[in-house]
Amino acid sequence: MQIIPSFDLLDGKLVRLRQGDFEQKTEYDASPLELAKELEAAGIRRLHMVDLDGARTGRPANLHILAEVAAHTRLEIDYGGGLRSIPSLKQVWDAGAMLFSVGSVALLAQDEFSAWVDKFGPDRFLVGADVRDRQIAVHGWAEQTEVGIFDFLNKMQSIGIRNFTVTDIARDGELSGPGLELYKDIIAQFPDIQMVASGGIRDVADLEDLRAIGCAGAIVGKAFFEGKIPLQFFRVYTKG
């Protein structure tokens, strides 16, 4: 299982939001590039980069940080936020992202998303499913749909998507533990997908639990930035 640190970017700074709320943000005094280098030195191979400015405006706004990290590390970066057109995808690709991280568009504009998949290939997409009570939420979690997570995954798998991140909204930014039962059920029903867990991860024990049930990866944010999962652990984990 890969540990995938999350860099949430707002105004060029590293931040964390509580349950996606821009009014409940915490800023971290760290250079994205220098921190990315430290993570790479510790054995991390992949980085989840969220352009919060882009999510609000509809256009990628932190491409300079993406380009800098991509140019000075070998980290595989998945990048999301503001990806609403083929030109924006091309911008992100040219800046150095290896995966496009998309969410609402995959559900709300499926024909358009299918065209993107046809153009770039399904393996270039990391589809995010933000889940509340096992139903998909969209538009930054503000709008709840009646689409169930299993129906959504089945549809995405039918067009070739294999890479998913599933966020348990109620747990995000809360350090309350991941939604293990949800992830167990998804892995049992969709054994061929690469499922990355997100939300609620609070410590090393949670990472071990996620690995034990078969998650392909785990995104860590608040727990890492607040020292609950130390950098030293990454060095041991990635070598083991």
Show which residues are catalytic. Answer: 8, 130
Q: Strands, DSSP E only, in the chain?
A: 2-10, 13-18, 21-28, 46-51, 76-80, 99-102, 125-132, 135-138, 143-148, 163-168, 194-198, 217-220
> In whole angstroms, how far apart are CA 98 and each of 51, 64, 136, 169?
15, 15, 25, 25
- Asked if 185 contacts 214 with a C-beta cutoff of 8 angstroms, the reply is no
What is the DSSP secondary structure assignment for residue 142, as one 8-state letter? T
Length of the chain: 240
Spatial neighbors of 238 by CB under 8 A, at least 6 apart, are: 3, 42, 43, 44, 45
> How open is the CA angle 163-166-171, to the nearest 5 degrees?
160
147-152: which pairs have CB atoms within 8 A and are 24 or more residues apart?
147/107, 149/182, 149/186, 150/186, 150/189, 152/107
Give the pair of three-digit tokens for residue 235.
């060095």
Residue at token pair 């785990």 = 218
Q: Which two tokens stand for residue 17?
A: 């939001």
